[in-house]
């Protein structure tokens, strides 16, 4: 069997790339190791940059997002028990959209199914080969039978633990990594959000985040130890810890309820260089990870997709050179989002080993931030997302 592009992974990167390529008339097959329900069950990102919103619009999957998504024009940072607002719209002229990754993925899956585009779920033992030649191929086991697909290109949209990056010879790739000494414990609950806007909280007991999915569904996080067992965190213990980290008046307004999802995510900064290996490209979490503090992961995945879609459609239209720029173009934007996510993580969390000096630096930085229009603008322009160049 042959197609033009084989896409490994049916997360947001793989599905969005498939949708855009199909709209440019480029045949593609998506190969996913899990079931569609499993993919939809992973609760992850919540904040979309305007460039991501625009790309979903271009892909023809923005209708429900525009109806149900919540445009946000500001965000709050809480420090020393005081809430401070960053006026995103006033400082940058831009807003962000609160619309869950689950919903983005569902919209993309529905559009793919409606267009009748080939998708293989529950594909086992996926193997990528020949990407250093002109005849790359992907094979997988489906219902016990090995199937082989030839293509012009392979898009590695298979996340941090995927097979594509792992198939590259060690000498051909450089990995940059920082692992943080804590995780985020997240709870999803059908309760109204405590505030109209997101609140990022710096507290001596550790970071907390009040986020949301809708007017009736909230997403909250507290910084936790890396070796914490999620089963040992009862709902009551979670709400009590969150309340301790919020200002008294905010804690008093918090509506609690039964969790519908609870999980712990480790925090990591990671970049693989380059992102192209012959006819195989790494896209999204397969090539880089950011800690979730800046809300950049899904948005970076979307910008990688935009660059690769342009490069591949350019190639089929006869302009063969653009494909050579994919890696450097994507990495230039990735490193800036890595910097912002690392900075915001460093500013907002309790670090076990930074001592009183580290704590004083965080306090001075926060104090400066709220006294300087320039500093707030720097935060705001990174939060709403840097332009696609
Ligand atoms: P995904 O979503 O991991 O999808 C990869 C897919 O590939 C499949 N796969 C394979 N398929 C075939 N063969 C193999 N060998 C395979 N190996 C893996 C997997 O099953 C999966 O379906 O990567 P993708 O598409 O690049 O998307 C990236 C985003 O999911 C990620 O960056 C964001 O969720 C990060 N993130 C956030 N990003 C934002 O932009 N804004 C946010 O507010 C935000 N909040 C978050 C987040 C991530 C979090 N966690 C849990 C890490 C909050 C959290 C808590
Ligand atoms: C979320 O709603 O899950 C979320 C929002 C903002 C972040 C991270 C996660 O920075």
Per the CB < 8 A criterion, the answer to whether 19 and 169 are in contact is no
Average pLDDT, rounded, for the chain: 97
Rounded CA gap, 35 and 32, in Å? 8
Q: How far is the CA of 330 from the centre of ligand 1 (A)?
A: 17
pLDDT in tens, 272-325: 999 999 999 999 999 999 999 999 999 999 999 999 999 999 999 999 889 999
User: Is the pLDDT reported for residue 77 higher than 90?
Assistant: yes
Q: How far is CA 166 from the centre of its chain?
A: 20
Q: Is the dihedral of CA 294, 207, 218, 93 positive or negative?
A: negative
Structural domains in the chain? 5-49+98-177+269-347 (3.50.50.60)
- Which of 72, 203, 288, 349 is catalytic? The answer is 72
Strands (DSSP E) found in 190-236: 199-202, 208-212, 218-224
Q: Indicate which ligand has the atom closest to the C-alpha of 51.
A: 1
Task: Report the residue among 12, 43, 47, 97 best suited for mutation to probe ligand 2: largest number of ligand atoms under 8 A from its CB.
Answer: 47
- What pLDDT score does 210 carry? 98
pLDDT in tens, 67-76: 999 999 999 9
In this prediction, residues 136-147 reach a mean pLDDT of 96
Contact 345 CB / ligand 2 (< 6 Å): no
pLDDT in tens, 18-60: 999 999 999 999 999 999 999 998 888 889 999 999 999 999 9
Contact 296 CB / ligand 1 (< 6 Å): yes
């Amino acid at each position: 069997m042959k197609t033009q592009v084989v896409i490994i992974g049916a997360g947001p990167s793989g599905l969005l790339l498939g949708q855009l390529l199909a709209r440019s008339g480029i045949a593609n097959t998506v190969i996913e190791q899990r079931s569609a329900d499993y993919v939809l069950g992973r609760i992850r990102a919540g904040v979309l940059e305007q460039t991501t919103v625009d790309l979903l619009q271009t892909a023809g999957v923005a209708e429900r997002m525009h109806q149900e998504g919540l445009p946000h024009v500001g965000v709050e940072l809480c420090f020393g028990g005081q809430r401070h607002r960053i006026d995103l719209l006033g400082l940058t002229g831009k807003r962000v959209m609160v619309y869950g990754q689950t919903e983005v993925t569902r919209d993309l899956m529905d559009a793919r199914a409606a267009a009748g585009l080939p998708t293989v779920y529950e594909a086992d033992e996926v193997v990528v080969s020949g990407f250093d030649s002109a005849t790359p191929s992907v094979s997988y086991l489906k219902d016990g039978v090995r199937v082989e697909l030839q293509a012009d290109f392979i898009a590695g949209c298979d996340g941090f633990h995927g097979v594509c990056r792992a198939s590259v010879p060690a000498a051909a790739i450089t990995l940059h990594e920082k692992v943080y000494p804590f995780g985020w414990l997240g709870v999803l609950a059908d309760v109204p959000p405590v505030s109209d806007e997101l609140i990022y909280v710096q507290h001596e007991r550790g970071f907390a985040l009040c986020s949301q999915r809708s007017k009736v569904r909230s997403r909250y996080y507290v910084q936790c130890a890396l070796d914490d067992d999620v089963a040992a965190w009862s709902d009551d213990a979670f709400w009590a810890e969150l309340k301790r980290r919020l200002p008294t008046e905010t804690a008093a307004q918090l509506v609690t309820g039964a969790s519908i999802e609870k999980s712990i995510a480790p925090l990591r900064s990671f970049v693989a260089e380059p992102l192209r290996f012959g006819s195989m490209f790494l896209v999204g979490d397969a090539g880089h990870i950011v800690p979730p503090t800046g809300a950049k992961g899904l948005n970076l995945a979307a910008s990688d997709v935009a660059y690769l879609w342009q490069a591949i459609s350019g190639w089929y239209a006869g302009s063969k050179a653009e494909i050579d720029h994919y890696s450097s173009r994507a990495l230039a934007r990735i490193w800036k989002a890595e910097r912002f996510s690392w900075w915001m993580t460093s500013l907002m969390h309790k670090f076990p080993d930074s001592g009183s000096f580290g704590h004083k630096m965080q306090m001075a930085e926060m104090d400066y931030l709220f006294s300087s229009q320039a500093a707030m603008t720097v935060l705001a322009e990174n939060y709403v997302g840097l332009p696609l160049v």
